[in-house]
Amino acid sequence: MRLALFILFPIIFVGLLVFLIFGLKPPNSIKLAAGINGGGYCQVGQLYKAELARDGIQVVLVETEGSVENIQRLVSGEVDAAFVQGGLELPQDESLQSLGAFFLNRWWCSAESLVQSELMQENGETYALLQDLRRLVLAPPL
């Protein structure tokens, strides 16, 4: 019994020590899908790269055509993290987790010369004919 404790205790102690030192250590580098070069997500990626470099973590920014490609690369394992626009349908992959949002992607829609009589009611929803939407403006709020 004493011999078993004499042998098992150091093995368990060393195993626990190795796990604590190496198991909880952040990666040395990550690949981040950051969208189109010069775009908003790419600019935020540059900020993340600079901030994580201060902690000794190298960030490799992967240029893509946007959020859809970012999702594809994330699911395929080509990148470790990705910036994805809110509102996109994500694959039902339990290993994907959202960590938060850094942009508020609100869109305002306004139409001039649209009067109440031009609206249609169907199934409790209100619609307007496309030709009735004169001077339609779609833009982020200023």
CB 73 within 8 A of CB 66: no
Confidence of residue 32 (pLDDT cuts 50, 70, 90): very high
- Regarding pTM above 0.85, the answer is no
Name the most confidently modeled range: 18-22, 111-115, 117-121.
Answer: 18-22
Domains of the chain: 27-86 (3.40.190.10), 108-139 (no CATH)
Show the tokens assigned to 33. Answer: 């899908």
In this predicted structure, what is the pLDDT of residue 142?
Answer: 44
In this predicted structure, what is the pLDDT of residue 113?
Answer: 47
